[in-house]
Structure 1
């Protein structure tokens, strides 16, 4: 062992000399000690404290993301594993609200603490392998890397996955030097936390094992029984998830590995490079790629290990992108690979020209601020409202507080004992958190299956089958209208009719000009007759965001299945400004909406001349154009608004 230790020290000195004299060899990650570690330490702690303070402020104001709400609901039904995840994320949400109360900040508190440990562990790994100065630098980049710096803002599995990844990285690097009980125990801890966090951690395990097999020192470490005991302990942590899948027809595994992925080649995967370069920031992305490439031939086994582990994880997810799910968020999947490469980053940047290094630092800082800025925007109602017509509108954060208030008001007008039923898991979980009720029943909905939550709702007994489960007790049905694409909305309304019968006049809630839209139905009995739905409408002219004068014409169509519409009003900023000529022939519309049974077809078109010359309160600039739809059943529904620029 002494000879091996001397050999390792010699390699470390050789690697440091390589970087100190880059013209000779310059292997990435093998670095020389310098005398400015004190400044790097001060910079790290300033960044660590500043980023943490910003995240605490944002986390206290940010509305609950829909996945966070469902993890809270899982935490209120404690189990060893769930349909979408292992148990640890739900347990942490339960811990947060148990200690801090039913508030989003309390829910996120354990994740913020875990995320704060990630850069500290990064400093430890890098400083031990490559020296203190580069350890502090790596810690800084673990804070500035946007995907890592925002960890913990949301109560999601990624914070614990990041910590588990670094524990395994640290243990692997130590095992390459010398197998010890401490390093084996750290490996077992990392493998266990990862197994309890997410299915995706399998990628870290598999690639880490391959990286060790590719290195002579790694193969030597794998011959030690202590390493295999650690691996066995980590493998045992998957037992609850395996047991859940065995008891539920592999529903979770099938969703994660089969149902959500097309498993057919698609060229969209090439966008991975552009998306990752944008999210990581371009120069930092290039530096990490450089570190992976050069590190393959580093003087130290740890350098080669980190380069292989990080590079193969990122490359693996890049390849997967050509065959896997493109509908749901996946940009954060390669984060474990970037974390493994960050210890090599200071050595690579030491070889770059000073202006390029400065630009890398600056772009990374700006990238982190941009991502934090997005969350600030998502937490600000005024900003969300102004962004209602933009693609980046944060729909999964928006409208839940307003919906909870509307539900409370509606229940006050209904008989005591009125129960709430949600039409999808998002509404059920968000309302559950706001109303402190983790047992809100949920109707069958495509979203429940798309996100793998339907089996879990079934296990909790919260899957409501509509008519077959109906009782005489008064019920408030809450429908997330904008959770269904517009072309499928009428089909969804008719599916609701099949489940609960013809729908009564709804209370419509438009949040942020209708970008988030909910319908509340007070149901006191099983209704009979043709399917009656909320109104459907479309403005043909003027187009969204069009610029018009003080006089213009609004044309389009509108219908309401079951009963029809009586009249249509034109709104500017929620204020009626004209009454439309409704009932014009609109040929062919029913062919576009075959299920529609509005008795007025095809006379469902409208036109309205709008004259704002005498309306001084509506001046030039941006305004919002909307419709007020009056049904023949007495219902009044405000339609979603679109931006309009007045000259």
Structure 2
């Protein structure tokens, strides 16, 4: 039986190797700049910690590892993305081989690797990408633990889920699925000793991040609450919108693929009618709660399309064998469509500068940073300050070897970004600084701020925006900050004295 299960591995490896090679070529040749989040994750990797402003630490650690191999170029920052997705495809194939056989395992691996969300996140580095292989391992280990009854696989499931949480807190949906299995599926229940091993392994893995948050004002948790902003002030923040909820659900046809998301709806209907049993029935415990929670969030306040992405690992494992038995033609259509889209996206990204409208948010960021840094040199200023997170993200990345000191404008109250938290302008800096912003209002002390440049990018992320640069006394910004009750970092994180 084990030999039969391994029959799918060779063809899966051939397909994944070819697709991953194409994606690596894309990363090597694409002209797109790092997006705001990617640049921020790179910065996290320059200062390894057990937590960061808005996310757990694993994405920063991964980027630190890949950039240690070849440097800080965009290829090395993103290198892990296609490799981790290939690994996730194999993990889901292994789980499927156990549940539905080798033929289904092959098509699950291929289907996952060509999902639209995977195609896009293979050319960008994201927390979802880092989280996915660990969620797949946690599911696989849980199934083994329930089948064999041993503590070891349960401990592995806890470790894997803990690492998933160290990548992104959305991994909590899988823990919810395990609780549902324990309550509703006798065949997949774990014993008391297994639960103890699972729980201790999970806690030990996430404990460093919990301690980091406790020592830093629970910064990451606070940011998570900011995303669900209605929690803090429901009377003012809740704005019920069926249109937003419907928009989120419609977006899932693009995230998971039009055929597969339509098939998911059909599968849910089939399960509700009692026409479909295991494993599809219990796999939905890892799918429907995540989609339902994020749909509710969209209804209450809004949600991004990828917030339920963790649901589609188990959804792929559930749907592909189901389609193979009931509507194989739709599986073929899905594979053909998604593969074509994946290849087109990879090839198109190589020529992104020839399609500036399509790739606008990923182009022109470095050019703006170079203009700002060059203005600072012309003005013989050693410090560049900004408040806009988008400008700061690329300034820190593009200006990493500039020799200039890069700082965020201090903020009153709880900092609104990682830059304001960890890199605020210190009160002790003397002389003038260059302040860059997309606003034409002088930053502070208008009688002492002098505009020294303005330019308007014609294309890319900042197309049509006026980028203003002011020469401002550093003590002017610091005095304004202190008058507003600023301390630079509300969590006690020391700001480094030089650009990392």
More divergent stretch after superposition (294-303 vs 42-51): 294-303
Distance across 2 between alignment mates of 1:348 and 1:356: 11
Deviation string 1:75-103 (CA, Å, 9 cap, x unpaired) is 21221111211111111122222221120
Q: Does 1:287 align with 2:263?
A: yes
The offset of 1:411, in angstroms, is: 4.0
Deviation string 1:206-252 (CA, Å, 9 cap, x unpaired) is 23322332111233x1x231332122221233323322332333332
CA distance 1:354–1:218, shift in 2 (3 Å)? closer
Larger % of helix: which? 2
1:192 aligned residue: 162
CA distance 1:105–1:118, shift in 2 (3 Å)? same
1:501 and 1:527 in contact (8 A); partners too: no
The correspondence for 1:87, drawn from 57, 62, 71, is 57
Deviation string 1:177-205 (CA, Å, 9 cap, x unpaired) is 22224422320221121121112222221
Q: Does 1:304 align with 2:268?
A: no
More divergent stretch after superposition (91-100 vs 313-322): 313-322
- Which segments of 5 or more consecutive residues in structure 1 lack a partner in the other structure? 1-8, 10-32, 482-488, 529-647
The offset of 1:156, in angstroms, is: 1.4
CA distance 1:122–1:353, shift in 2 (3 Å)? closer
The correspondence for 2:18, drawn from 46, 50, 60, is 50
1:122 and 1:343 in contact (8 A); partners too: yes
Distance across 2 between alignment mates of 1:508 and 1:246: 43
Distance across 1 between alignment mates of 2:139 and 2:464: 43
Distance across 2 between alignment mates of 1:148 and 1:172: 24
Question: What is the RMSD of the two structures over their aligned residues, measured on CA atoms?
Answer: 3.3
Distance across 1 between alignment mates of 2:106 and 2:221: 40
1:423 aligned residue: 387
1:120 and 1:139 in contact (8 A); partners too: yes
Distance across 1 between alignment mates of 2:185 and 2:468: 62
CA distance 1:499–1:245, shift in 2 (3 Å)? farther
- Map residues 413-492 of structure 1 onto 2, 5 A cutoff: 413-415=378-380, 418-436=382-400, 440-444=406-410, 453-454=416-417, 456-460=418-422, 462-464=423-425, 471-472=430-431, 474-479=432-437, 481=438, 489=439
1:167 and 1:189 in contact (8 A); partners too: no
Task: Specify the SS of the correspondent of 1:421.
Answer: strand
The offset of 1:286, in angstroms, is: 1.7
Deviation string 1:555-597 (CA, Å, 9 cap, x unpaired) is xxxxxxxxxxxxxxxxxxxxxxxxxxxxxxxxxxxxxxxxxxx
Task: Specify the SS of the correspondent of 1:463.
Answer: coil
Larger % of strand: which? 1
Distance across 1 between alignment mates of 2:330 and 2:105: 20
- Map residues 571-610 of structure 1 onto 2, 5 A cutoff: none
Task: Specify the SS of the correspondent of 1:475.
Answer: strand
CA distance 1:269–1:49, shift in 2 (3 Å)? same
1:521 aligned residue: 469
Distance across 1 between alignment mates of 2:208 and 2:331: 46
Equivalenced residue count is 460
CA distance 1:192–1:516, shift in 2 (3 Å)? farther
1:251 aligned residue: 219
2:137 aligned residue: 167
Deviation string 1:250-283 (CA, Å, 9 cap, x unpaired) is 3321221246523523221111221111332221
Distance across 1 between alignment mates of 2:347 and 2:399: 29
CA distance 1:516–1:159, shift in 2 (3 Å)? farther
Return the TM-score normalized by structure 2. 0.81
Distance across 1 between alignment mates of 2:445 and 2:137: 52
1:262 and 1:325 in contact (8 A); partners too: no
Deviation string 1:600-644 (CA, Å, 9 cap, x unpaired) is xxxxxxxxxxxxxxxxxxxxxxxxxxxxxxxxxxxxxxxxxxxxx
Task: Specify the SS of the correspondent of 2:52.
Answer: coil
Distance across 2 between alignment mates of 1:154 and 1:400: 15
- Which segments of 5 or more consecutive residues in structure 2 lack a partner in the other structure? 232-237, 477-500
- Map residues 21-36 of structure 1 onto 2, 5 A cutoff: none
Q: Does 1:507 align with 2:454?
A: yes
The correspondence for 1:242, drawn from 197, 210, 219, is 210
* Structure having greater relative contact order (Cα 8 Å, sep ≥ 6): 2
CA distance 1:249–1:217, shift in 2 (3 Å)? same
